[in-house]
Structure 1
Amino acid sequence: MFWWVHLKDSMERSLIMKMSKVFQIAGIAAISLLVLTACGNKSDQSSGSSTGNVTVHTSGFPIVDKQITLSLMAPSMGSVNWNNMQVLKDYQKMTNIKLKYNTPPQADFSTKLNLAFASQDLPDIIFAAGSALTPANEVAYGRDGQLLPLDKLIPKYAPNFNKLMEKDPNIRKSITTPDGHIYSLPMLSSGPTSIWYIGPMWYNGEWLKNLGVKTLPKTADELYALLKRFKTEDPNKNGKADEIPFSDTKLSASRYFLMAIFGMLSNDVQNNGDKVVYNPGTSNYKAYLTFMHKLFAEGLMDKDTFSQSDDQKKAKGQSDRLGLFSDYFSYFTTGRTQKQAMNDPMFQPLTSSVSPKAVIPGSPRINRGDFSITKNNPNPAASLRWVDYFYSGTGSDFLNAGKEGGFWKYAKNSKGEKVRVLNDGITPDNSEDKRSKISPDYGLTVPKYAGDDKMGPILATPDSPKVDAFTAFVNKETAEKYTPYARVPYPLVYLTKDEQDSIASNATDLSTYVEQMEAKFITGVEPLSNWDKYLKTLDSMNVKQYVKVYQAAYDRWKKAE
């Protein structure tokens, strides 16, 4: 897959860690897209199938009557040894499946996983690999027989996941490789903010108040006018001309929102209807560069954008010097409280002369590569049943926070209603640290359906609101300013080996060149009068073949059932 998908995957991992700290206790009232039937209880073992000399029950617990042992490889966040995670210990008892864990640090996981394939020293199960198991590797390892196809087993042994695919055909299309097989299962999301492609941009609400701004910009020209006011009217009220109207770190997040002003959802390929285009070679992209150069030349964009670290950007925010900036939540940059951050409005998608309809990049809500079974696995059916529980509402809740009596307990509120609350000794301040020690569902994209909050949120106290004020604010901003305008830039596809080979030699060079030239054009190091020279260079890097490959992949994706 091309580079922006990997960037998104990396950002999502960071987002999961940061968002969970804010949202876990409040328990976001997830938008449940599907109604799932959880696995039955132990008495619901009406049928089974014998595989690998072990009878695998197709419903209920245990999954097998006689304990079996399987090996599992996954990245570790370092909080605790997986053998000591209570969720996994409880699940072993429920399923009768014992696991041997190989959990290298997340930073080393990709290297360790590649070594395992190269040496053929493979685990039975690969868990929460995410972008470490690239789409290209899925295709190659599936073709070579190192990963087992799951598609024929799914209807019988993964009924929860099968229901999700039946409800949303895009899931099957997005995880089926060119040979027609499914080699890995994804993490699926449906919560209020799961549509985020990357962390949003935020306005400094105090500055807006000080300038008397009541209505946010809706066009490129209105944004320019507001940034001009940020620079010239002393909105931080310190009597100094130290305001920076807009800032980011190498445009790593804001790029997507600013390009969208000109109708582009990525700085790579996107499908406009059924036609795939390479955005950095379009007139829309030139319009984007022209606008951004104007901001930079007039001091409306941070002169350090392409050189500063994220910490340096945040230091400026904490000194109240930034008017518009990107981050998962505004207070991560400003250093203010959550309550104060509720005064910082989310960036609203804008229109321009070349893009009269507001649009913004949206997440496909599918993170691939999170559960695979290798050729060494003696019981694929049991392994698939093991993971399928996490694609139900109760199973997803269980993976996230465990059984009653550990991380949480039941209590009655003042209305006599039974609610879930944090257990003794666990507070909103230490809850994520505590949770990271009981479950692997922390900081990783694990195979599950995230969003069907079947058992209700976990509250700090029995009478805590089910959705705290800050969560409600973020959800409302998302519903108003993100969701209505979001569109997936390009579907999740797989390339055939021939397609990969045809672009492998120049794909990385192409993206590197585009990013370098973006910075040069915006800062003026390279004048936009050299645009035609830039286009010729793209042509020399075989960009037409690049687009041809992704057009073919898109056509194949669209035709898939």
Structure 2
Amino acid sequence: MRDISRRQAIIGLGAFTLVLAGCGEDEAPKKAADVSGNRAAAMANYGVNQQFKATEPISFDVLYNNHSFYPNKNDWLLWQELTKRTNVTLKPVEVPLSDYEKKRGLLVGSGQAPLIIPKTYHPQEEAFVASGAILPVSDYFDLMPNLKDKIAKWNMAPDLDTLRQADGRIYLLPGLHEEVWVDYTLAVRTDILEKLKLEVPKTWDDLYTVLKAMKAEYPDLYPMTDRWGVPTPGGNLLKLVAQAYGTKGGWEYQHATFDTASGKFVYTGAMPQYKQMIEYLAKLVKEKLLDPESFTQQDEQAKQKFNSGKSFVISANAQTIINDHRPTLTKLVPEAKMAKIPVPMGPVGEYKIGTRLENGVMISKKALENKNFVAMMQFVDWLWYSDQGQEFAKWGVEGVTYTKDGSGAYQLAKDVDFVGLNAGAPKHLQKDFGFSNGVFAYGGTTALLNSTFSAEELEFQKVMNARKAWPIEPPHPFNEEEREQATLWETPLKDYVTQQTLKFILGERDLGEWDAYVKELEGKNMTSYVNLVNTAYDRFKKEHG
């Protein structure tokens, strides 16, 4: 079981000081490079929620994750208005969504990456720390007043602590959410629930009961089929079930999980809770309640099964309900109704498990050589962290793409659609204007987050927000030597855990062999890996409090 540590409970303002200083008591402070000569075009008195505007026209390359649903257009209002407001022209270096991580790694590794490198999920930045290819951005937080303001106002120092490397510094500028936001869950055919006189399942045991009843009524069908099994088998489903037992699986899988009973990290794939997750899913497969193809099929296959009425439960989020299911489902099965249900609970109880940190921005080390470095950091701070920049990235231009009423509520322009809010409108906020773009629009206040939600989604959020937030695990950053060693062990370990997890779930390996499986992990350096993690954890705790 993961739980909050004493250090995290008392970290408070002291951690924020650490964010800025990044050093222990016995260690010389890490000093930021002198950038006094790199202030060309920077504002002299830039501050919180002040419109950033460079004092002269400047431009920066930005690595651009080109989404297939809204591919980049050079004439987007996003680009035009951004330049108008900030005097900055962004030059996107386009990389297809499907190839983004690989291409980003090649560009950063070769020193050819743009100065601004968004859409990076922690811990992906760790691969570039040792080489010095990216900046320790925490050295330059003083150039980013909006970022500092939100860290302090939302008490996010413990959250940022999880990004810290062995030198105490942070190398990724993360998106910041005011509160933990849960989006991914399950969608259920509520008309089938009504027909069978069943309640919406609140726990995973309830879901089992619901699936059994559906199977009894429709014996030739799998009541549940799932998506997001490629490239991570059971990506969302394993994540959700693992959370319910107090561990990590699927998309969220990490090798180490903090165990409060021992005050140490343990190996996730060998935890009793991980075995409980497997046992639950294996039971669903064995009783033909869960389609065994769920873990390997492409999304299109899963969607076709659900949308044609051949299954009744599937992983979902707010956008997939609107974009992937309802339009087709209501055509093919006119009587069908579906809903995104609150994440089912398990033994750990009523928690919402997630993070207030989003994917973030890396800054190339080359940026320090740019005469406009300070202006660039001010620009990044305004676009990604100011209230005005976040509103602009999400909603666009007031009077063109949206309006606000007297209460401050947002309303899309009548000719613009987004997530079905103006279904049938001739223009689309993402496709035709470039706003609500995943490269720029993430993080912010809960009010801004909720501003595009339907009444149905707001009700889901209300239920989830009533739950307690899952405590943050303590950091355990590797030094360069440890990272090199850990990298050699991680891939074989993860591949084996993934392979054997799937075999256990599908019944290809008997769960009576669990102890043998754990011994096999030991043969792949599991114990040495956990020892490495705990060494890093103990060192960081000693050096940084």
For the superposition of Structure 1 and Structure 2, which TM-score range results when normalised by the shorter chain? 0.7 to 0.9
Q: Which stretch shifts more, 502-511 or 49-58?
A: 49-58
Superposed CA deviations along residues 53-99 of structure 1, whole A, max 9, x for unmatched, are 55532324564423334333332336465653323333323333344
Partner of 2:78: 87
Change (3 A) 1:456 1:515: closer
Task: Measure, in 2, the Cα distance between the counterparts of 1:261 and 1:457.
Answer: 29
Alignment of 1:297 with 2:286, yes or no, is: yes
Superposed, which structure 2 residues align to 1:16-31 within 5 Å? none
Match status 1:246 vs 2:224: yes
Residue in structure 2 matched with residue 66 of structure 1 by the alignment: 56
The yes-or-no answer on 1:101 pairing with 2:80 is no
| Equivalent of 1:515 in 498, 512, 515 | 498
CA contact (8 A) 1:64 1:96 kept: yes
Structure 2: stretches of 5+ with no match in the other structure: 1-34
> Match for 1:435: what amino acid?
Q
Residue type of the alignment partner of 1:225: T
Q: Which amino acid aligns with 2:136?
A: P
CA deviations over 1:443-473 (Å, ceiling 9, x no partner)? 33x3763335569958xxxxxxxx6xxx222
The separation in 1 between residues aligned to 2:124 and 2:200, in whole angstroms, is: 44
Of 374, 378, 388, the match for 1:385: 378
Partners of 1:436 and 1:493 lie apart in 2 by 41
Q: Distance in 2 between matches of 1:295 and 1:455?
A: 35
Corresponding residue number in structure 1 for 2:532: 549
Paired residue secondary structure (1:103): strand
SS at structure 2 position matched to 1:344? strand
Contact 2:109 2:128 in 1 (8 A): no
CA contact 1:133–1:369 (8 Å) conserved in 2? no
Alpha-carbon distance in 1 for matches of 2:91, 2:339:
47
Within the alignment, does 1:151 sit opposite 2:109 as a pair?
no
Partner of 2:14: none
CA contact (8 A) 2:159 2:356 kept: no
What is the letter of the counterpart of residue 120 of structure 1?
G
- Which of these residues, 236, 245, 257, is aligned with residue 270 of structure 1? 257
Q: Do the aligned partners of residues 195 and 340 (structure 1) sit closer, same or farther apart at CA in structure 2, a change above 3 Å counting?
A: farther
Q: Distance in 2 between matches of 1:201 and 1:73?
A: 33
* Residue of structure 1 aligned with 2:274, choices 263, 285, 289: 285
Question: In the alignment, does 2:188 pair up with 1:188?
Answer: no
2:150 is aligned to 164
1:218–1:186 distance in 2 versus 1, CA, 3 Å: closer
Q: Which residue of 1 aligns with 2:361?
A: 370
1:426 aligns to what?
416
Q: Which residue type is aligned with residue 513 of structure 1? A: Y
| Preserved contact between residue 265 and residue 489 of structure 1 (Cα < 8 Å) | no
Deviation at 1:163, TM superposition (A): 0.9
Match of 2:445 among 435, 439, 451: 451
What count of residue pairs does the alignment treat as equivalent? Answer: 479
TM-score (structure 1 length as normaliser): 0.74
Match of 2:489 among 489, 506, 515: 506
Q: Is the 8 A contact 2:237 2:315 kept in 1?
A: yes
What SS does the corresponding residue of 1:325 show, helix, strand or coil? strand
> Do the aligned residues in 1 keep the contact of 2:258 with 2:473 (CA within 8 Å)?
yes
Q: 1:310: which partner in 2?
A: 299
Classify 1:102/1:132 alpha carbon distance in 2 versus 1 (closer, same or farther; 3 Å): farther
Q: Tell me whether 1:349 sits opposite 2:344 in the alignment.
A: yes
Shift of 1:385: 0.7
Give, in whole Å, the separation in 2 of the partners of 1:447 and 1:113: 20
| Distance in 2 separating the partners of 1:87 and 1:492 | 37
Structure 2 letter corresponding to 1:135: E
Which residue among 492, 497, 514 is the counterpart of 2:480?
497
Instruction: Report the CA distance shift for 1:103/1:555 in structure 2 as closer, same or farther (over 3 A).
Output: farther
**2:379 match: secondary structure:** helix
Quote how far apart the aligned CAs of 1:526 are: 1.4
| Alignment partners' CA distance in 1, 2:359 and 2:292 | 37
Secondary structure at the counterpart of residue 536 of structure 1: helix
2:513 to 517, 524, 530: 530
Contact kept, 8 Å, 1:178 with 1:495, in 2: the verdict is yes
Do 1:189 and 1:449's aligned partners in 2 also have CA atoms closer than 8 Å? yes
Distance 1:340 1:556 in 2: 60
What is the distance in 2 between the residues matched to 1:333 and 1:116? 37
Aligned equivalents of 1:295, 1:182: Cα separation in 2 = 42
Change (3 A) 1:359 1:547: farther
Residue in structure 1 matching 2:212, options 219, 223, 228: 228
Q: Is the 8 A contact 1:218 1:350 kept in 2?
A: yes
Matched residue SS, 2:416: coil
Which residue of the other structure, out of 175, 187, 190, is the alignment partner of 1:202?
187
Contact 1:76 1:105 in 2 (8 A): yes
SS of structure 1 residue aligned to 2:60: strand
CA distance in 1 between partners of 2:465 and 2:221 (Å): 27
Taking structure 1 as reference, are residues 176 and 115 closer, same or farther at Cα in structure 2, changes over 3 Å only? same
429, 433, 437: which one pairs with 1:438?
433
Are 1:371 and 1:447, in contact at CA under 8 Å, matched by a contact in 2? no
Measure, in 1, the Cα distance between the counterparts of 2:175 and 2:427: 20
Q: Secondary structure at the match of 1:276?
A: strand
Return the alpha-carbon distance in structure 2 between the equivalents of residues 210 and 455 of structure 1.
35
The answer as to 2:98 corresponding to 1:114 is no
1:224-257 deviation digits (Å, cap 9, x = unpaired): 333322211x1xxxxx532323332442211122
CA deviation string 1:351-380 (max 9, x = no partner)? 3xxx3x325662212124424243243322
How far is 1:508 from its partner?
1.4
1:241 maps to a residue whose letter is P
Once residues 340 and 451 of structure 1 are traced to their aligned partners in structure 2, the CA distance between those partners, rounded to angstroms, is 38
AA paired with 1:87?
Answer: L
**1:260 and 1:72, CA in 2 relative to 1: closer, same or farther beyond 3 A?**
closer
**RMSD of the TM alignment (CA)?**
3.7
Q: Contact conserved, 2:116 with 2:361, CA < 8 A, in 1?
A: yes
TM-score of the pair, normalised by structure 2 = 0.76
| Partners of 2:43 and 2:375 within 8 A in 1 | yes
SS in 2 for 1:313: helix
CA 1:337–1:272: 2 relative to 1, 3 Å: farther
Contact 1:129 1:369 in 2 (8 A): yes
Which shifted more, 331-340 or 317-326?
331-340
Render the CA deviation track for 1:251-309: whole Å, top value 9, x for unaligned: 22111222344332434432233432223212333333333333322222224333433
Distance 1:81 1:218, change over 3 A: closer
* Distance (Å, rounded) in 2 between the aligned partners of 1:64 and 1:241: 66
Q: 1:476 to 1:440 in 2, by over 3 A?
A: closer
* Unmatched runs of 5 consecutive residues or more in structure 1: 1-47, 235-239, 459-466
Compared CA separation, residues 371 and 452, structure 1 to 2 (3 A)? farther
Secondary structure in 1 aligned to 2:428?
helix
Residues 312 and 117 of structure 1, relative CA distance in 2, 3 Å threshold: closer
